[in-house]
Amino acid sequence: MKIVVLDGYAANPGDISWQEMEELGELTVYERTGPCDIVPRANDAEAVLTNKCRITREVICALPRLRYIGELATGYNNIDVACASEKGVAVTNIPAYSTQSVAQHVFALILEAASRVGEHSRLVKEGEWERCPDFCFWRHPLTEIAGKRLGVIGAGAIGSRVARIGRAFGMTVTEYSPSRCPKETLDSIIEESDIISLNCPLKKDNAEMINSSVIARMKRGTWLVNTARGGLVDESAVAEALKSGQIGMYMADVVTEEPIRGTNPLLGAPNVMLTPHIAWAPYEARVRLMDTAVNNLKAYLEGRRLNRVDG
């Protein structure tokens, strides 16, 4: 089997071996592939693995030998699954590999906002403590998260883990799942939470679910954490709410257009903490991702279904 990895660098920049994948066929790994190069590079491939390259209907129809598409992530909205199903092409994804990592990142952001460890460490190195007339100093108000109300929107594996960690910190936690909870639960989270964490997938019916009207219902100064998808929030509305103080802090690992553009309104807003979509990327999580990618393809070759999303 000829296997082509279109954009392998993000998941494996060289610190993980491709050997197990090589044992399944003739493997070619490209670090990055532009849209115009997808078809030429995958022309003879029977299996194509992608992270963010878009495998559209046009791409699928242009690859006559294609039998398998492996998504090197959990979300697979970059693949035309309906077309793949029509053509008899298997599609797999990598579920649950980053649950621990993303939940950890949620609290890395919350704790940084609460204690400002990174900023105060920088100030110490710049001599601020040495010049201080007192035995200590703090540049910003510090916050204790125990006793705060945490609202978790999205009660899947990651959201449930975030909720467990929140309870371990002594927070009062409310979880919302659209399939299991009444709308009143979501209303309670929006209106009563001190901190709201978005941990749900982006779908047509929840795009920009955090908009100006929803923000107006929040407690003044609410902290908002988004490690899910940038499109869940109206970034312009969030930026305005940060300027007015309605949102006290916005902490995100994702934005609507990635990589972020200099025109993104969040870049000019106060009290914003942004990381470059790295919550999923600890080494241990990426090892799980790679192991699952190998097992998915191996199962397909053996006639078994594993993590199939094509129906």
- 8 A C-beta contact, residue 111 and residue 156: no
How many Å apart are CA 215 and CA 217, to the nearest integer? 5
**What contacts 292, CB < 8 A, 6 or more positions away?**
94, 95, 97, 307
Catalytic, out of 41, 67, 277, 308: 277
What does the longest C-alpha to C-alpha distance in the chain come to? Answer: 74
How many Å apart are CA 136 and CA 24, to the nearest integer? 59
Catalytic, out of 105, 116, 161, 229: 229
Backbone angles phi, psi at 26, to 5 degrees: -80, 110
- 8 A C-beta contact, residue 60 and residue 16: no
Q: Which of 56, 87, 12 is nearest to 292 (CA)?
A: 12
Which residues partner with 57 through β-bridges? none
Catalytic, out of 23, 119, 258, 284: 258
Query: Residue 21 has which token pair?
Result: 């994948």
Alpha helices in the chain (DSSP H): 19-22, 38-42, 57-61, 81-86, 99-115, 117-125, 157-168, 183-192, 212-217, 235-244, 283-301
Task: Write out the DSSP string of 171-196.
Answer: -EEEEE-TTTS-HHHHHHHHHH-SEE
Q: Which of 208, 224, 252, 254 is nearest to 73 (CA)?
A: 254
Which amino acid appears at position 186 of this protein?
Answer: L
**Catalytic residue status for 229:** yes
Known catalytic residues?
Answer: 229, 258, 277
